[in-house]
A and B are shown apart, each in its own frame.
Chain A
Amino acid sequence: MNDLAARIETARAKWDSLNNSKVPVIYIGTATCGTAAGALDVLEAVRTTLKENKLKAKVVQVGCIGPCYLEPLMDIKMPGEARVSYASVTPQTARAIIEEQLIKGKLPLKYAVGHFGVNGNGHIDGIPKFFELPMLRNQVRLVLRNCGFIDPEDIDHYLANDGYAGLRKALELSPEEVIEIVKDAGLRGRGGAGFPTWRKWEICRGAAGTDKYMICNCSEGDPGAFMNRSLIESDPHAVLEGLQIAAYAIGASHGYVYINSDYNLAISRLLKATEQMREYGLLGDNILGSDFSFDVIVKEGAGAFVCGEETALIGSIEGRRGMPKSRPPFPAIAGLKGKPTIINNVETLGALPNILRNGADWYKQFGVQGNYGTKTFSLVGKVRRPGLIEVPLGIKLRQIIFDIGGGSWKPFKGVQTGGPSGGCLSEESLDIPVEYESMKSAGSIMGSGGMIVMDEDSCVVDLALYFLHFTQNESCGKCAPCRVGTHHMVDILERIAAGKSRMEDLSQLQVLAETVARASLCGLGQTAPNPVLTTLRHFRSEYLTHIKEKHCSAAACKELVEYEIDPAKCNGCQRCVSICPTEAISGAKAEIHKIDQYRCIKCKACYEVCRYDPLAADAVVITSRRNAS
């Protein structure tokens, strides 16, 4: 214990010296989202600019702070001044910013988006506070508190920010007392189902045997969701600390982190973090001088959505096909290798250090009765400010989409929550609070945190088809309702999207969806029809126009649209003629062009050229005609 106290002392000194550095500090967000936007090129440019100008500065790579639409983000903190954040940085602007701020000593206001103040206070003319930007103002960052601030590869940064204080607190208590605190805090599973965490733990704690397993579920296979990956990339120790607290509570001495093998950066950061923990005596036998011994194995999955299901995940860790088993016995009684096992989501574990450190009452000030705490969401789709957000439970969907996300560019149509297991909600449902029960009664689910906003250019039939395609692909094939049912649902939806369906199809789809939901073995099949059921409930009229009028109002269903040239706008620039892969467009220079519908393969190339080429005149339009049958 004393050993760690000394290390914390050094870590704090290191952290303070970084914050009060005599030389400028440059922070660059290099998590996967930042890297995709070009953060590594910016990093390279920063290093060369510093070198060329013989400037002294510290460069720190941090994780993701959330507003993905501003990536790549670069922050500069001059000695004694506030840290200022610059958005959408390119190698060229990075160079300009450094020259302006580090050499000339001026603030390049036109690139700045926000500042972090000095100890939370301070004012800079022309730059708002970062956390008062519209996207961040309504957020409450508990799980993501360190993301974007600490170097995720340096355990000292985590220690200096109250890292492992939750674990130390837990080790002072008995496991039963830890469970009691988590029960009192009302923490529920953040993987989506919302099962009370403490109840699962209690069952496992009471199960016979001494060999127990604690697993962190970072399978995160649903498309459009990246909360867990982002958390592990930006603050891996928070998740590992949570894993240890949970392991201590249930009496487990072996832990696994089951992670999607595509998450390369997250995996390497986890491995580095566990290495550092071993060095600091935070893993292994008798951790911090207590009786608690624990070790972690990072286990990669190999790309199967169904492995997010507990029994399938266990199968995958054991080296088998990831197929779910019927329950009971529940994993809490007989899981991995037949031993009692608890599987918690990354975010559930990420919340634990905060709860243990600050107590249940502190945690309960966030959220509402029965739904305490916060939830992270990846807010994406047709929204103005996409990104990773954390909000208190009980917030209205409208606040998330319009206040934080800034609404959609074109008129809003709906929001899809919970990924392939969730549902689509329409404008009328926007005033329901984001709670496990209310989301369920609206037909959707809270889900693990994917939130996709749709505008009038998105077609709900197309989206339902997309999700059913996905679940049909990912169905493991063990039980017939899921294997065969999803296949038939895809068939029907494809017919509707192609304008080849009849009214009977709709009732058949409804019956089939209800059957699959009721008869499937595991959560994948039981929730697979949700996208269809909710769209049938909230957007029935769109299905009807597809069936009766062969019309797709969003012009997204390929079979129901035609590409046409608006003769009033066409200036005869011939850009579309040359780009068309099937030579479907004809027309001499300066004459109005024409599209041959028989040759057109609807690849969208002419549409793009006509929109984005400076010579062109927005003349190509995609239209869907109404044909009454």
Chain B
Amino acid sequence: MTDQDYNEIFSGFKGEESDLITILLRVQERLGYISKDAIKHISQFLRISENQIYGVASFYSKYRFTEPGKKCVKVCMGTACHVHGGKYLSDAVGWKLGISIGQVSPDHRFDFRRVNCLGCCALAPVVEIDNRVHARMMVTDLEEMMSRGE
């Protein structure tokens, strides 16, 4: 992101410390993650230390500090999904891609995340791939979808 992009994001804020969490969210929406460069820019804008920003950002599960993969596979870990066998799905994704939750596949095609609850518990277990929720998933469906590169 260029200086201009950052200024665009910052223009909606007064520059108070309380804006930090929202600014980080906006940066992540644009960039996909929180880069070192982004923390530097935010630090200058809000006039707080980079350490403080990293301290806040690392507290919340939403922020990430590495570049995301192309496709985002989010396995729901909600209670309803759990009792319907959601852990088999996350095991299957991990096994298929050879990575664990929070990592990116070596070829950068897949991004493997977990969410606490997608809130469509009646459709459990669910998996969200690129913002599309797939209902009543089974291990075999998921493996097939991922093999097809969907």
- Pair A466/B79 contact, Cβ less than 8 Å: yes
- Pair A222/B117 contact, Cβ less than 8 Å: yes
- Pair A381/B21 contact, Cβ less than 8 Å: no
Interface residues contributed by chain B, number (CB under 8 Å): 46
Bound CA–CA A467/B126 (angstroms)? 19
Question: B1 in the interface, Cβ–Cβ < 8 Å?
Answer: no
Taking beta carbons and an 8 Å cutoff, which residues of B are in contact with A?
Answer: 16-22, 24-25, 55-56, 59-63, 77-80, 82-85, 88, 91-92, 95-96, 115-124, 126, 133, 135, 138-140, 143
Q: Which residue of chain B has its CB nearest to the CB of A298?
A: B22
Consensus secondary structure, chain B interface: helix
In the complex, number of A-B residue pairs with CB atoms less than 8 Å apart: 147
- Pair A452/B79 contact, Cβ less than 8 Å: yes
Interface residues contributed by chain A, number (CB under 8 Å): 59
**Most chain A C-beta atoms within 10 Å of own C-beta, residue among B61, B77, B119, B139:** B119
Bound CA–CA A381/B125 (angstroms)? 10
Q: List 14 A-B contacts (CB under 8 A).
A: A32-B120, A36-B120, A37-B123, A224-B121, A299-B22, A316-B21, A321-B55, A381-B84, A382-B84, A452-B83, A463-B82, A476-B59, A581-B143, A604-B88
Residues of B near A381 (CB, < 8 A) are 79-80, 83-84, 121
- With A386-B122, A454-B83, A603-B88 already in contact, 6 other A-B pairs whose C-beta atoms are closer than 8 Å: A221-B116, A226-B119, A304-B59, A319-B20, A381-B121, A609-B140
- Pair A33/B56 contact, Cβ less than 8 Å: no
Bound CA–CA A386/B63 (angstroms)? 32
Q: How far is the CB of A519 from chain B (nearest CB, A)?
A: 23
Q: Given A604-B139, A605-B140, A608-B138, check contact A36 B82 (CB 8 Å).
A: no
- Pair A302/B119 contact, Cβ less than 8 Å: no
Pick from A35, A302, A454: contact of B25, CB below 8 A. A302
- Pair B123/A36 contact, Cβ less than 8 Å: yes
Q: Given A318-B17, A319-B20, A603-B88, check contact A37 B60 (CB 8 Å).
A: no
Q: Given A224-B79, A452-B79, check contact A378 B56 (CB 8 Å).
A: no
Question: A598 in the interface, Cβ–Cβ < 8 Å?
Answer: no
Pick from A69, A305, A419: contact of B122, CB below 8 A. A69
Residue interface mask A372-383, B partner, CB < 8 A = 1: 000000101110
Bound CA–CA A463/B83 (angstroms)? 8
Residues of A near B17 (CB, < 8 A) are 318-320
Q: Given A223-B78, A304-B61, A603-B139, check contact A319 B19 (CB 8 Å).
A: yes
Residue interface mask A268-290, B partner, CB < 8 A = 1: 00000000000000000000000
- Pair B19/A68 contact, Cβ less than 8 Å: no
Question: A511 in the interface, Cβ–Cβ < 8 Å?
Answer: no
- Pair A450/B135 contact, Cβ less than 8 Å: no
Question: A242 in the interface, Cβ–Cβ < 8 Å?
Answer: no
Bound CA–CA A558/B79 (angstroms)? 17
Pick from B20, B92, B121: contact of A386, CB below 8 A. B121
Bound CA–CA A605/B91 (angstroms)? 11
Residues of A near B91 (CB, < 8 A) are 603
